[in-house]
A and B are shown apart, each in its own frame.
Chain A
C-alpha cells in the first residue's frame, strides 16, 4: 500500500505545500497568486448582447452581399465604380477620429476633467455631422445619376447597408448628446460610468461596422 508523499517546502507558506495528497509536485507558479482577474465589462453586460447581435446582423448581410457578388462580379465591379470612393475613405477617417475623441473623452471623464470631456464629445458629434453630410451628398449624387435601391442587387445592398448604418450614426449621435448633458451637469464618473462606457462602446461599434462596409462595398467590390 502506497501513501501519497507530502513534500515540505520550507520557503513556502504551509497551504502551498501540497499536503492534500492529490498533487505533491512542486509548482513554480504556486509562488505567485493565482490569476483571478475577473475583467471589467465596459458598460452594462446586457448591452454587449445587443452589440454582438447587431454586429452579427451586419456580418450576415455582408456575407450574403459577397455571396451575391460571386454570381455576377462584373456588374458589382461596374456598380461599385459608380460610388464616390474618396467620400467613403474620408468618412472612414472621420469615424476613426470620432472614435479616438470618444476614447479621450472617457479618460477625461474618469479623471474628472468635465470641460475637456465635453469638448471631446462635441468633437465626436461634429465628426458624426460631417459623416452624415458627406453621406447625404453621396446619396444625392447616386440618386441623381439614376441609382436607386431598385437599380439592381448591388445598389439594393448598398442602400440597405449604408442606410442601416446611417440610422446607427443618428442613434449614436443622440446618445453622445445625452452623455454631453451628463458632463454639463458634472455627473461624476462613479455615478455615470456604466452609461458613459455603454455610449462609448456603441459609438465604437458604429465605427467598426463602417470599416467593414467601406472595405467590402467600396473597395473589394470595385476590384
Chain B
C-alpha cells in the first residue's frame, strides 16, 4: 500500500461541495417556490451527503456488513422521518 488517496475520495469531496452549494441555493430560493418540495429535496440531498461521508470518508465501504447496514439504516430512517415532518402538511 503506497498510501495514495484514491481518486474516488476526491471526486466525493467535490460532489459534497457542489451539493452544499445546491442546498444553500435551494434554501435561499425556497420562499419564492413556497412549497415543501424544496425542503424535502434539501433533506434528500443532505441525506445523500451524509451517506457518502460515511461510505467514503469513514471508510465504511470496506467495513463489515453489519456496520455498513447499521449506518445505512440510520441515514434512511432519519431521512424518511425528516422528509415526512417537513413535507407532509399538518392537518
Contact = CB atoms under 8 A, between A and B. Distances in A.
B78 A212 contact: yes
A151 B89 CA distance: 26
A16 interface: no
Interface residues of A, number: 51
A111 B4 CA distance: 7
A18 interface: no
Contacts of A48: 67
A100 B5 CA distance: 10
A71 B85 CA distance: 11
Interface string B68-91: 101100100110011001100010
Contacts of A17: none
A70 B90 contact: yes
B3 A42 contact: no
A116 to B, nearest CB: 9
A66 B54 contact: no
The SS class assigned to the A binding surface is helix
A219 interface: yes
Given A41-B67, A66-B85, A67-B85, A100 B27 contact: no
A112 B63 contact: no
Contact of B3 (A67, A100, A107): A107
A223 B33 CA distance: 9
A219 B24 contact: yes
A201 B58 contact: yes
B91 to A, nearest CB: 10
Given A41-B67, A63-B78, A219 B26 contact: yes
A99 B24 contact: no
Nearest to A112: B3
Contacts of B24: 85, 89, 219
A205 B85 CA distance: 24
Contacts of A218: 27
A130 interface: no
A59 B78 contact: yes
Nearest to B63: A39
Interface of B: 1-5, 9-10, 13, 16-17, 20, 23-24, 26-28, 30-31, 36, 38-39, 42-43, 46, 49-50, 53-54, 56-60, 62-65, 67-68, 70-71, 74, 77-78, 81-82, 85-86, 90
27 contacts: A39-B63, A39-B67, A39-B68, A42-B58, A42-B60, A48-B67, A52-B74, A59-B74, A59-B78, A70-B85, A70-B90, A71-B90, A85-B27, A89-B24, A92-B20, A102-B57, A103-B9, A104-B5, A108-B3, A109-B3, A111-B2, A113-B3, A207-B57, A208-B54, A211-B20, A215-B23, A223-B39
Interface of A: 38-42, 48, 52, 55-56, 59, 62-63, 66-67, 69-71, 85, 89, 92-93, 96, 99-100, 102-104, 107-113, 197, 200-201, 204-205, 207-208, 211-212, 214-216, 218-220, 222-223
